[in-house]
Amino acid sequence: MDLSKPSTQANLEAAFGGESMANRKYLFFADVAKKLGHNGLSKLFRETAAQETEHAFAHFRLLHPELVIKDPDSLSDAQKQAMLQRCLELAIEGETYEYTTMYPEFAAQARGDQDREAESEFKEQISESREHAGLFQTAAKNFGLLTPIEQHHAETYSVALQALQGSGVPGQADAPVPGKWICKVCSMIYDPAQGDPDSGIAAGTPFESIPDDWQCPICGARKASFVPYREAELKPA
């Protein structure tokens, strides 16, 4: 396929995004159906989700032919290394974009939208505007919390890439970052300097002082699911 035309590449990227989103939506719908006792409908959603995955993969192969593997046995070690390196480079690129641009901009926009829309909505429908304000606050909070997570992912991938290039082995720092704890489920990083005001945890509250029934604001995991945060670090081979 000729990707020299920007429109063709843009359309493929949009199609990949759409199929990928459909896959996750259908898996979510399958979970809803299963919990409601509709196993047949849940099965249908999961089957469709699998099909959407294949559609997304087809688009991605066209976007990145350098990652298409026809015969693994025919590849040299150098070629295999190059493909793995490319995967890590794309992962780092995506995660870096998320924590440096996407989530910070989304967080700022959510706060801005709250200020503008809430004011006008209060004049028309108080109950509806309160609901909107709450949604915007949650969006701004979540986008802000996701920024350090994506930075953590990008740094982890960077270390993995250096290890793949023979510079060492991937690992973690011997000493944890003072005061910071990370959720083992979703990688949310608790920073005592920020606290979790929406959950009643004031800024400056040490993790150890948080009530045991506190839950991760991203995934809802228990406090016991958090461990001291250690930065990704390249270790000697």
- Residue 150 CA, chain-centre distance (Å), reads 6
Confidence tier at 50 by pLDDT (50, 70, 90)? very high
What is the rounded average pLDDT of the residues 1-10?
A: 75
| Other CB atoms within 10 A of residue 176 CB | 15
| Other CB atoms within 10 A of residue 169 CB | 12
Look at strands 232-235 and 181-183 and give their pairing. unpaired
CA distance 33 to 27: 10
Domain 1-63, CATH number (from 3.40.50.300, 3.10.310.10, 1.10.1060.10, 1.20.1260.10): 1.20.1260.10
Fold classified for 170-235: Rubrerythrin, domain 2 (2.20.28)
**Least confident span in 104-108, 116-120, 198-202, 218-222:** 116-120
pLDDT of 123 higher than 60: no
Nearest residue to 27 via CA among 7, 6, 5, 52: 52
Q: Domain ranges in the chain? A: 1-63, 71-164, 170-235
**If you average pLDDT over every residue of the chain, what do you get?**
87
pLDDT of 76 higher than 60: yes
**pLDDT value, residue 136:** 61
Asked, colleague to colleague, whether 1-63 and 170-235 share their fold, the answer is no
CA distance 4 to 58: 18
SS3 112: helix
SS3 63: helix
Q: In this structure, are residues 231 and 153 in contact, taking their beta carbons and an 8 Å threshold?
A: no
The encoded tokens of residue 51 equal 């099909």
Nearest residue to 113 via CA among 130, 97, 132: 132
